[in-house]
Amino acid sequence: MLIVVDPTRVARRLRVRGVVQGVGFRPFVYRFANSLGLVGWVRNDGGGVEIEIQGSEPVLDAFTQCLASEAPPLARVDAIEPEVIPPDHSRKDFTILPSAEGEVATAIGPDVGVCRACLSELFNPDDRRWRYPFINCTHCGPRYTITRSLPYDRARTSMAAFELCEVCAAEYRHPGDRRFHAEPNACPECGPRLSLHEPHGLTALARDPLAEAVRRLQLGEVVAIKGLGGFHLACDASNADAVARLRERKARPHQPLALMVANVASLASRVRVSAAEAAVLESPERPIVLLAKQPGCDDAYPGIAPDLDELGVMLPGTPLHYLLFHEAAGRPAGTVWLDQPQPLALVMTSANPHGEPLVQRNDEAFERLADIADVLLMHDRDIVVRCDDSVLRLRPDLPATPGEGDGKSAGVQFLRRARGFTPLAMPLDASGPAVLAFGAHYKATLCLARGAEAFLSQHIGGLDNPAACVALDEAAEHLQAILSVRPAAVAHDAHPDYYSTQAALALADALDVPSIAVQHHHAHIAAVCAEHRLDGPVLGFAADGVGLGTDGLPWGGELLYVDGAEFRRLGHLSPLALPGGDRAARE
């Protein structure tokens, strides 16, 4: 074979790091390289995406510069590391290679809401995915909650149990298709299926489980719905009796409940929605957003958020959620109805008995929701890791939080950071050892540092019962596995009786690594310093409640001088006697 040597051809190997797996990055590179007439290959590996590219130097420069600026919407390019290599003059095309193994230094993306292109197919009666509850593509759908390990390939997700049909396999293999290597790709022929069950029975109730579930909701029943990261409990938000029944069964008499509506237009006259709030509601992350009530809101949705001036609202995030509203609207064809006000409004709250973690598995749902839900709408795709809904409010006076991507977090105040944002990394000012930090007792969360990044786990919650403690252990194990990190040290609260402390000490012992105790209020102030990248000494006031002090006594309301790992207690609120000890704090 005659090989023609082009003296102008140069070659580079590019290492791309960030959120670049499962977001359509390889087909983007494939199309971009071919449009520029470049040759080479692209593949996933443990470090992210690896590219070998050959062509003229100016074109390679343009290709490299545009990798980040033109990347797919769900991608986040943190670094591009170039290396000059000898050109291979025998290569004549650009291809996508199978994934390579290697040390994991990339991250899986979070779960995101269904995109507009998939919605167009979902509501097209002539499309083969008409009303299919698990439609997705590389720009939308589950990621984090179905992934067991990296690189992000179907075999490492809970979709491994579903063999692609010929049509879906052709989509999956074609680099020009929107579903090229969309790992959750499926259709009614080969993918997961819905079923509806009585709480105490395994036998499916209806041939059309979704239609029957909506009928039950309209009758005032409580329906458990399997979503992304766990189950929800749903009922008709305008039915005061249904809401009261849900509160009584869940033992949640006063706390606010979240509301799901079909679109922003459905909120007219109920709550105030600014343009910025509407943008966050409609964002791919699909969080619960706290919105100011308008007069008449409590009459329309009785008992949802009593005695509060805000209402937590979310829009449908999954095809299944959209289909509930589509069914109630009479199954209209097309997408025009998506922008029109819809009368159905649903309570959509985490499915868990009071104080317990989110229900994750089908067998759990039968066991733990039997006394709460009237029926269970579930499916046969496993949830690998629990991940609750994120909750936030917009605060225009707040700056953007580093690491949340593209400035979208400007003015965002998280009350619960979970689905849609976990496990996106927060950047650190410097690279350091891998440290796994356990939270305290309430609102527990984990954080695993890797290099110059800190990965926050999903919200786990209070550790008052064994099931919550198991959830903490599972989250710690999954975070280490998904990032392929063996901690060099473990950090924990100084209180010896917290389960989080005991779990941290047990892990440190198992790994034979140091454990580091951190005073509770020092941790709070240090966290604020890290969030705002404050390197020097600060004065901080922590008024969050009780934490064990360095003198062995409970502290609360602390004025501290904090300088990194060191702190001094400068002042505090006057101590109060606590008859009954910790019980006084709880009650």
Pairwise CA distance, residues 192 & 495, whole Å: 45
Query: Is the domain of 361 the same as that of 245?
Result: yes
User: Is 101 a domain residue?
Assistant: no
Q: What is the pLDDT of residue 415?
A: 92
pTM of the model: 0.87
Q: How far is CA 184 from CA 23, 126, 136, 478, in A?
A: 12, 22, 7, 20
SS3 state at 219:
coil
Pairwise CA distance, residues 13 & 28, whole Å: 17
Query: Is the domain of 529 the same as that of 412?
Result: yes
Query: Is the domain of 587 the same as that of 565?
Result: yes
**DSSP letter (8 states) at residue 400:** P
| pLDDT in single tens digits along all 587 residues of the chain | 445 456 678 999 999 988 888 788 888 999 899 999 999 999 988 778 999 999 999 999 999 988 888 888 888 888 899 999 998 888 889 998 887 765 555 667 899 999 999 999 999 999 999 999 999 998 899 999 999 887 778 999 999 999 999 999 999 988 888 898 899 999 999 999 999 999 887 778 888 999 999 999 999 999 999 999 999 999 999 999 999 999 999 988 889 999 999 999 999 889 999 999 999 999 999 999 999 999 999 999 999 999 999 999 999 999 999 999 999 999 999 999 999 999 999 999 999 887 788 899 999 999 999 999 999 999 999 999 999 999 999 987 766 554 444 434 558 889 999 999 988 888 888 889 999 999 999 889 999 998 888 999 998 989 988 989 999 999 999 999 888 889 999 999 999 999 999 999 999 999 999 999 999 999 999 989 988 888 889 999 998 778 999 999 889 899 999 999 999 999 999 888 888 877 887 77
Pairwise CA distance, residues 21 & 44, whole Å: 7
Pairwise CA distance, residues 84 & 90, whole Å: 18
Query: Is the domain of 89 the same as that of 150?
Result: no
Pairwise CA distance, residues 373 & 385, whole Å: 22
Q: How far is CA 482 from CA 148, 290, 354, 434, in A?
A: 7, 31, 29, 14
Token reading at 67:
């990798």
Pairwise CA distance, residues 447 & 95, whole Å: 38
User: Is 148 a domain residue?
Assistant: yes
Domain end point (choices 371, 390, 409): 390
Query: Is the domain of 247 the same as that of 308?
Result: yes
Residue 57's domain is classified under what CATH number? 3.30.70.100
Query: Is the domain of 250 the same as that of 327?
Result: yes
Cα 33 to the center of its chain, rounded Å? 31
User: Is 69 a domain residue?
Assistant: yes
Query: Is the domain of 452 the same as that of 379?
Result: no
Length of the chain: 587
Identify the CA nearest to 423 among candidates 70, 152, 127: 152
**DSSP letter (8 states) at residue 565:** T
Contacts of 14 (CB under 8 A, 6+ apart): 50, 51, 52, 53, 64, 67, 80, 81, 82, 83
Query: Is the domain of 173 the same as that of 37?
Result: no
Q: How far is CA 457 from CA 283, 358, 444, 477, 483, in A?
A: 21, 15, 10, 11, 11
Q: What is the pLDDT of residue 1?
A: 41
CB atoms within 10 A of CB 7: 6
Residue the block writes with tokens 């140091």: 514
Residue 291's domain is classified under what CATH number? 3.90.870.30
Q: What is the pLDDT of residue 73?
A: 83
E strand or H helix that includes residue 454? strand 446-456
* Total tally of structural domains belonging to the chain: 4
Identify the CA nearest to 317 among candidates 23, 73, 112, 143: 112
Pairwise CA distance, residues 284 & 281, whole Å: 9
Ramachandran region, residue 564 (left: φ > 0; alpha: ψ -120 to 50; beta: rest): left
Residue 586's domain is classified under what CATH number? 3.30.420.560
Domain carrying residue 556: 535-587
Q: What is the pLDDT of residue 404?
A: 47
Query: Is the domain of 432 the same as that of 557?
Result: no
Query: Is the domain of 519 the same as that of 436?
Result: yes
Query: Is the domain of 491 the same as that of 549?
Result: no
Domain end point (choices 490, 509, 534): 534
Pairwise CA distance, residues 535 & 563, whole Å: 8
Residue the block writes with tokens 């390579």: 100
User: Is 2 a domain residue?
Assistant: no
Check if the beta carbon of residue 78 is closer than 8 Å to that of residue 18: yes
Query: Is the domain of 313 the same as that of 399?
Result: no
User: Is 39 a domain residue?
Assistant: yes
User: Is 453 a domain residue?
Assistant: yes
Residue 446's domain is classified under what CATH number? 3.30.420.360
**Strand positions, DSSP E, 274-389:** 288-292, 310-314, 345-350, 375-379
Residue the block writes with tokens 């509506």: 261
Cis preceding linkage at 175, omega within 30: no
User: Is 149 a domain residue?
Assistant: yes
Domain end point (choices 356, 371, 390): 390
**Cα angle: 526, vertex 528, 534; to 5 degrees:** 80
User: Is 3 a domain residue?
Assistant: no
Pairwise CA distance, residues 369 & 372, whole Å: 5
**Cα angle: 196, vertex 221, 329; to 5 degrees:** 75
